[in-house]
Amino acid sequence: MKRLFAAALVFTLGLPGWAADPPPPPPDDEAQARPMPSEFGYYEQCFGTPQPAPGGRFGIGIYGEVPISGGGRSEGPTIPSVSGGKDDKAWLIVAVVAVAVLPIVVYAIDTPAPRIVMQRFRCPTFSMELLGGAENGRGFNGDGSYGMVSTRFGFAVGHVATDFQYDAAPNLIHAFNTHLIIRPDPRAHVEGGFAIGYRRMVVNGFVEDGLELGVPHRYALWRDGLRTLSLDLRPMLLLGSRVEPSLEAAFLFPLGDVLQLRAGGRVYTFTGDLLWGLSAGLALTL
C-alpha cells in the first residue's frame, strides 16, 4: 500500500513537467549575426556599404557640383564675335530651359527611391573631380582650341548641398564658381536640385560674373549596388548685365563603388559668343 501511494505521488508531481511544451530550438546563427537596420551605427549607415532592398536595383546618388558657364558683365574692350550670333544663343537658351524642365516631369511620374538611395541621400557625401580637356578658343584666346583643367569639390547631406569649382587654362584664363543646392527627396531614377550661386570668369583681362541659377540633375541608366552608370546634365543661366546660358552633359562610368570615369562636354556663351568643349576625368565620391 505504501509503495502504491508513493508511486501515485511521484506521478502526480511529475505530470506538469511532462505536459509542458518542449523548449524552442536555438536561434539560427546567421539570423542572430545579422543586425536589423535600426541597429546599424552611424559609421555603418553613412560610410559602410549600403545594402539595397530586394528588387531595388535602380537608384542614384549625386553630389553638388555645377559647371562653368558664360557670364553677364564685361569689363574692358569687347571680345570679337566668332559665333553664329543671337540665333545660336536663343537656341541654347531654349535647350537649357527644356533640359531644366524635363527632370521635374520625370520626378513626378517616377517611383520612390530604394533604400540604398535614401541612405546615401541622408548621410554626408564628399566628392572631388579632376577633369581635363580642350575648348574652342576663338574669341577667347585667339584662333583654334586651348587646353584646360578643372577641379570640383562638393559636400551634401540631406536636402542641402554646396560646391566649389575652379578652372584654369593658358594665357590668363581662369574661372571659379560656388553654389548652394536645395535638393528634394530622390526618386528611383532621377535626383537633382535647384542651384543658386556666384560665378566669375576672367579671360585676358575681360571679366564676366553674376548670379547663376540652374537645375543640376542626374539620371540612373543602370545600377548594381553602388556602381552606377548615369547621365549627368547641368542646365544653367547666368544673370548679369545679360543672360548667358550654359549646358553641360556627361556620362559617368563606374570603375568601383566610389570611383567613376566622367566623359562629356559643354556648350555655353561668353559675351554672347557661342563656345563649346570636351573633357574627361575621374570622380571620387565618399
Q: Is residue 129 part of a domain?
A: yes
Residue 56 pLDDT? 40
Chain segment 69-96, per-residue pLDDT in tens = 444 444 444 444 444 457 788 899 999 9
With a cut of 50, which residues of the chain have pLDDT below it? 10, 13, 15-20, 29-39, 52-84
Residue 174 pLDDT? 83
Q: Is residue 77 part of a domain?
A: no
Residue with cell string 542651384 = 195
Q: Is residue 182 part of a domain?
A: yes
Q: Is the dihedral of CA 55, 50, 130, 206 positive or negative?
A: positive
Q: Is residue 85 part of a domain?
A: no
Residue 7 pLDDT? 54
Residue 138 pLDDT? 57
Q: Is residue 133 part of a domain?
A: yes
**Measured between alpha carbons, how far is 266 from 275 in angstroms, rounded to an integer?**
8
Residue 165: give the domain boundaries: 96-285
Query: Quick one: cell of 12?
Result: 502526480
The structural domain count of the chain equals 1
**Measured between alpha carbons, how far is 39 from 33 in angstroms, rounded to an integer?**
11
Residue 24 pLDDT? 55
Please give the full DSSP string across 176-238, using - where no structure is assigned. Answer: EEEEEEE-PPPBSSEEE-EEEEEEEEEETTEEEEEEEEE--EEEEEEEETTEEEEEEEEEEEE
Q: Is residue 235 part of a domain?
A: yes
Q: Is residue 71 part of a domain?
A: no
Q: Is residue 187 part of a domain?
A: yes
Residue 6 pLDDT? 53
**Measured between alpha carbons, how far is 168 from 252 in angstroms, rounded to an integer?**
23
Full-model pTM: 0.71
Chain segment 44-61, per-residue pLDDT in tens = 566 555 554 444 433 333
Looking at residue 202, which CATH number applies to its domain? 2.40.128
**Measured between alpha carbons, how far is 239 from 237 in angstroms, rounded to an integer?**
6
